[in-house]
Amino acid sequence: ETGVTQSPTHLIKTRGQQVTLRCSSQSGHNTVSWYQQALGQGPQFIFQYYREEENGRGNFPPRFSGLQFPNYSSELNVNALELDDSALYLCASSRTSRGAADTQYFGPGTRLTVL
Amino acid sequence: DAKTTQPNSMESNEEEPVHLPCNHSTISGTDYIHWYRQLPSQGPEYVIHGLTSNVNNRMASLAIAEDRKSSTLILHRATLRDAAVYYCIWGGSNYKLTFGKGTLLTVNP
């Protein structure tokens, strides 16, 4: 069974640019969540996608957007990058049934640095 | 917000038991308690979860207080590979995990 994978591993961008991060879910999982983890902090929930629809969103501005594809892989897009967007971005997949999500399985993350 | 209180750090010796406490005094009756851990340079990893009664799995045990306002994660024999940040999380909706700063566990050889 393949775990959650994310690409790229590291990324350097400049302020104002746009970035796309990718996530491949674990086999059999239909739900993807994205988290932002600043240095020394716990992960903060950005949003979740279930069957290609957004299923909940944290306290992040609209320039953070996402997509989930029919194969349940996902993208996180961030527009107009700011210095504070520098963080580790984590993707987690889970299996949702009857409205309740199972345990979340995290990928290794993408380290984004904004200069 | 689903607030929890955990010690910033704890230290243990290898092969000794470790008890990691967590206070969650505002938890409601239907909220599960979850524990995740994050090893250096990795994403968080599920450890265990429970609702009311104590739970065991191959990684750890979870002891939940009768009033459910606190819980303790128990590692029965700590190894160097258990050195990580441990997060205690609660919430009725499993879709959103609200992480705090967690407890940094150091395991001494």
Q: What is the pLDDT of residue B95?
A: 65
The Cβ of residue A49 has, within 10 Å, a number of other Cβ atoms equal to 25
Degrees, nearest 5: CA angle A106-A108-A109: 95
Residues of A in contact with B45 (CB under 8 A): 106
* Chain position carrying tokens 């944290």: A58
Q: How far apart are CA A106 and CA B13, in angstroms?
A: 28
**B97:A43 CB<8 A:** yes
Do the Cβ atoms of A89 and A112 come closer than 8 Å? yes
Positive or negative torsion for Cα B98, A105, B41, A49: negative
**With an 8 Å Cβ cutoff, is A44 touching chain B?**
yes
Do the Cβ atoms of A3 and A104 come closer than 8 Å? no
**With an 8 Å Cβ cutoff, is B30 touching chain A?**
no
**With an 8 Å Cβ cutoff, is A55 touching chain B?**
yes
> Which two tokens mark A31?
């739900």
Residues of chain B with pLDDT > 90: what percent?
65
**B95:A90 CB<8 A:** no
Q: What is the pLDDT of residue A95?
A: 84
Model confidence pLDDT, tens digit, residues B28-39: 877 888 999 999
Model confidence pLDDT, tens digit, residues A22-56: 999 988 888 999 999 999 999 999 999 988 999 88
Average pLDDT over residues A99-105: 71
Q: Is the pLDDT of residue A100 over 60?
A: no
Q: What is the pLDDT of residue A27?
A: 86
How high is the mean pLDDT of chain A?
A: 92
SS3 of residue B96 by DSSP: coil
* Chain position carrying tokens 């279930």: A50
Q: How far apart are CA B3 and CA B25, in angstroms?
A: 8
Residues of A in contact with B97 (CB under 8 A): 33, 35, 43, 45, 92, 104
